[in-house]
Amino acid sequence: MTNSEIVDLLELTGRLMELHDRDAFKTRTFQTAAFNLDKSTADLPNLPVDELVKLQGVGKSIAQKIREIAETGHLSDLDELLAQTPEGVLDMFRIKGLGVKKVRTLWQELGITNLRDLQLAGENGQIAKIKGFGASTQEKILAALEFLQEQQGKVRMDKAAMIANLLHDELATHFERVEVSGQVRRKAQEVDLIQLLIQTNDPVSAMLTLKKLPNLAQNEAESSPFAWRGQLAGFDVQIELLFYPAEQINRQLFIQTATETHLKQAGTGGVPLLQVAYSSVLAEIVDSADVAEVEAAIYERAGLPYIVPEMREDDFAFRWASRHQNEELVTWDDLRGTLHNHSTWSDGKQSVADMAAYCRELGLAYFGIADHSKTASYAGGLDAERVRQQQLEIDALNRGFSTDFRIFKGIESDILGDGSLDYDNETLATFDYVVASVHQTLTMSLEKATTRLLKAIENPYTTILGHPTGRLLLAREGYPIDHRAIIDACAEHNVIIEINASPYRLDIDWHWIEYAMQQGVMLSINPDAHDLVGLLDMHYGVAIGRKGGLTKAMTFNALTLNEMTTYLQQRREKIRM
């Protein structure tokens, strides 16, 4: 069991206790413990009761529950509650805007026990008639249901990679060669099919081997003699395992990675990439173990520039290649620092010192702290006095570093409803930089959202526009914005746009990266890290940046420490003028 798994079980127990109207005090003990432990860095699975009770929000009873979870993998209290709760009622918690009380009302007053009944009740107008709901809530529920249906069977980039790697490692013990292909290799931000290629000259034996693997459930109707299709236990996303002999697997890796639109692209001879890939003229090199050599040869024979796997989506990559070289694309090694991160001063799990130390381990030259601002009280946002205290701590830490590392003083300032920034100008002037983000009142029209962001961009203290649409992939659709107007305004006011590298966000969407670069707007690959591991999310940001054609030259946090220091200093001096 991990910390997050333990916290999830405690949180779910508290939620179901509230749903079933159990003792309010006991319910709060679970909810309080889950809230506090979510930020804890303690090794919860391995702590004894007498150590657990020393943690904030943990009494002896909860400590014993944690030990039960750690030792057995489940909690008897939760098992009892789950047995009394229809599975469909649990699904209702996934609906944006439905808290425990509303779910209980829908269940008890309308007898709704699944999402299908919930949708029918909304379409029939029954929800709007319930006291405390109304037509507006009903409309939002129906919209959220539609969004969830569209996302069904998909997983985020990070989970897709995890599943693909699990499959790869398992299959590699049974087959000579296994390759991750398709959407995962292409670094798609949302994945509905996880595909791997298996090298074999005996597909019948290969299929028998797969049938023996315990966690694979085959969909025989969708499978064929050369393709196993089904699911991995515990995940809804579809799995496809394709069988190819050694002489075909390299070219098939190319074909299966690219989209149909990409493969239709024709080169100087008018022959589409797909046809070239199948051509016999490649016979002399397809046996090569070097996949890159085979793929490069396919593009060369087609008379087209080589396109990296991330960009094999459509014809955009070829337009990009007419102006750029692949060597210009940003890489992890190009990143020199990180600028949007949180610490225990707000809702992060590690101290500023620990986060900075890990950045140094990663070989970065600077760490920017951007904790939440005062309006984000739910996330421990900093008031002006706590800002001052944090900055004193940063000054002390910086005195302990040599000239090759520095902590920058930033803030993630809420963009308020009218587009103004949290804090007065006097406080904003104390920061090295400001990440301006929307966190509250997310239901907006395109005009309202665009106007709100434009005002924030016009504020001279805004350095970086954070997660521009506020989306959460597969969970919450972003508010609509006029991307061109926003990017044009950032160009006019010299504001950087964030690529929020959290796999939950990946916002700004990669489709708008090229336009931003054309307008001269730099992009910052920001992890929005709340713990040490979160800093590694910049890998996802790099992948999405490359998919959109982001170059090192237009990547803000590819600036060296000296370049970043000079840039931020000159920007502050310009504001004072």
Q: What percent of the chain is modeled with pLDDT above 90?
A: 86
Q: Note whether 353 and 397 are within 8 A (CB).
A: yes
Count of CA atoms in the C-beta half-sphere (13 A) of 417: 2
Domain 3-151 identical in fold to domain 153-244 = no
**Which of 246-250, 313-317, 438-442, 513-517 is the most confident on average?**
513-517
**pLDDT at res. 339:** 97
pLDDT reading at 364 higher than 90: yes
- Tell me, rounded to whole angstroms, the distance of Cα 124 from its chain centroid: 36
Report the SS3 class of residue 455: helix
- Span 452-476, average pLDDT: 96
What are the pLDDT digits (tens) for 226-277?
A: 999 999 998 989 999 999 999 899 999 999 999 999 999 998 889 999 999 9
Write the DSSP string, 307-364.
--GGGTTSTHHHHHHTT--GGGB--GGG--EE--B--TTTT-SS-HHHHHHHHHHTT-
pTM for the full predicted model: 0.90
- Span 56-61, average pLDDT: 93
**pLDDT at res. 334:** 98
pLDDT reading at 307 higher than 90: yes
Q: How confident is the model at residue 111 (pLDDT cuts 50, 70, 90)?
A: very high
**pLDDT at res. 306:** 96
Taking only Cα atoms into account, the Rg of the chain, rounded to an integer number of angstroms, comes to: 26
pLDDT reading at 123 higher than 80: yes
The closest alpha carbon to 83, from 72, 75, 92, belongs to: 75
Q: How confident is the model at residue 150 (pLDDT cuts 50, 70, 90)?
A: confident
Q: Of 4-13, 47-56, 136-145, 343-352, where does mean pLDDT reach its minimum? A: 136-145
Encoded amino acid at 461, one letter: Y
- Span 3-22, average pLDDT: 94
Q: Of 83-92, 353-362, 550-559, where does mean pLDDT reach its minimum? A: 83-92
Residues whose CB falls within 8 Å of the CB of residue 80, separated by 6 or more in sequence, listed in order: none
Max distance between CA atoms of the chain, in angstroms, equals: 75
Give the integer Cα–Cα distance in Å for 474 and 400.
Answer: 43
The average confidence (pLDDT) of the chain is 94
Q: How far is CA 36 from CA 42, 250, 354, in A?
A: 11, 50, 19
- Span 142-152, average pLDDT: 86
What are the pLDDT digits (tens) for 153-185?
A: 999 999 999 999 999 999 999 999 999 999 999
CA angle 528, 565, 390 (to 5 degrees): 55
Residues whose CB falls within 8 Å of the CB of residue 228, separated by 6 or more in sequence, listed in order: 206, 207, 210, 216, 218, 239, 240, 241, 243
- Span 289-317, average pLDDT: 92
CA angle 385, 340, 486 (to 5 degrees): 105
pLDDT reading at 289 higher than 70: no
Number of C-beta neighbours around residue 557 at 10 A: 27
Q: Note whether 467 and 150 are within 8 A (CB).
A: no
Token pair belonging to 209: 């081997």
pLDDT reading at 284 higher than 70: no
- Span 385-410, average pLDDT: 97
Domain spans in the chain, listed from the N-terminal domain onward: 3-151, 153-244, 259-322, 332-576
Q: What is the dihedral of CA 151, 154, 156, 157, to 10 degrees?
A: -140
**pLDDT at res. 95:** 86
Q: Which fold has domain 332-576?
A: TIM Barrel (3.20.20)
Residues whose CB falls within 8 Å of the CB of residue 292, separated by 6 or more in sequence, listed in order: none
**pLDDT at res. 483:** 98
Give the integer Cα–Cα distance in Å for 362 and 532.
Answer: 11
pLDDT reading at 352 higher than 90: yes
Which residues make beta-bridge pairs with 216?
232
Token pair belonging to 41: 């860095």
**pLDDT at res. 576:** 85
Residue ranges of E strands in 455-522: 464-465, 496-500
Q: How confident is the model at residue 283 (pLDDT cuts 50, 70, 90)?
A: low
| 3.60.9.10, 3.30.460.10, 3.30.750.24, 3.40.109.10: CATH of 153-244 | 3.30.460.10
The total number of residues shown for the chain amounts to 577
Give the integer Cα–Cα distance in Å for 508 and 467.
Answer: 6
Q: Note whether 503 and 468 are within 8 A (CB).
A: no
Q: How far is CA 311 from CA 277, 415, 432, 544, 555, in A?
A: 18, 33, 35, 9, 18
Q: Which fold has domain 3-151?
A: DNA polymerase; domain 1 (1.10.150)
Give the integer Cα–Cα distance in Å for 489 and 46.
Answer: 52
